[in-house]
Amino acid sequence: MTDTELGAILGERVANVRARIEAARARSGEAASGVKLVAVTKTVSARVAALVVELGVTDLGESRPQALWQKAEAVPGATWHMIGHLQRNKLERTIPLVSLVHSVDSERLLHALDAFGRARGAPVPVLLEVNCSGEAAKGGFAPDAVPVAPLPGVQVLGLMTMAAREGDPRPAFARLRELRDALVPGGELSMGMSNDFEVAVEEGATLVRVGTTLFEGLGE
């Protein structure tokens, strides 16, 4: 498939996702401009990622540090988000490349990021991942155990969650919003993926992480 053909497909999909975000935001009674679309590029090549940046979706998310390293070098103009599990031994290569770490899921990682931020003289912008669905297979802090003590080496900008694979995602998203309001008033809410981002927007998401809806079948 040529770049022109890929661009046409992606252009239609981006417009569709943006329209769905706007409609969901309208249903919630708030302005659609408050939601940032993060295109999750883990299933596609740097070539496809670069095309979506050309279409104006400049915030890109990766769940594996090694893939992020490669694509960050190959895709100019992108703002990168680390959305998957981040191992402490990969901080040095990963943190300088990203604008935000969405997936701070443990005290050990939080304190490693704090040490990294203090050592470099600039705090690391992060979101704390919360397991609002209560699924044992999911990572993140329990809702009643989200750390609140400030650390000089990290800047906690908000919270992140993933809803359960089955059932209504709304309770998990509503719970995260309540926690954000209590712990990080006015902070970011990273919630909602391809199958549930509209519900997340209705519940106040400020960042939605969309991959399959944008890139299905384009993994080249």
Q: Residue 34 belongs to what domain range? A: 3-215
Q: Mean pLDDT, to the nearest integer, of 177-190? A: 96
> Per-residue pLDDT for 171 more than 90?
yes
CA dihedral 120, 121, 127, 128 (to 10 degrees): 80
- Measured CA to CA, the distance from residue 81 to residue 110 in angstroms comes to 17
Please compute the mean of the pLDDT values over residues 63-78 and round it to a whole number: 96
CATH number of domain containing 140: 3.20.20.10
Sign, CA torsion 154/65/105/197: positive
In a domain, 220, yes or no: no
* pTM: predicted TM-score of the whole model, two decimal places: 0.95
What is the count of structural domains for the chain?
Answer: 1
Q: Which residues lie below 8 Å from residue 179, measured CB to CB, with a gap of 6+?
A: 130, 132, 143, 146, 159
Range 85-97 average pLDDT: 96
Residue 142's pLDDT is: 95
Instruction: Report the pLDDT value the prediction gives residue 31, as an integer from 0 to 100.
Output: 56
> For residue 131, is it within any domain?
yes
Q: What is the pLDDT of residue 147?
A: 94
Kindly indicate the confidence band of residue 96, based on its pLDDT and cuts at 50, 70 and 90.
very high
pLDDT of residue 29: 79
- The pLDDT confidence band at residue 106, using thresholds 50, 70 and 90, is very high
User: What is the per-residue pLDDT for 66?
Assistant: 96
Which of the listed ranges 33-37, 166-170, 198-202 does the model predict with the highest average pLDDT?
A: 198-202
Please indicate, yes or no, if residue 19 is contained in any of the structural domains: yes
Residue 46: exposure state from Cβ atoms within 10 A (0-12, 13-18, ≥19): middle
pLDDT class of 220 with cuts at 50, 70, 90: low
| 2-39 confidence digits (pLDDT tens) | 999 999 999 999 999 999 999 999 988 765 558 999 99
The per-residue pLDDT of the chain, averaged, comes to 94
Residue 158 lies in a domain: yes
Task: Tell me what pLDDT residue 97 has.
Answer: 98
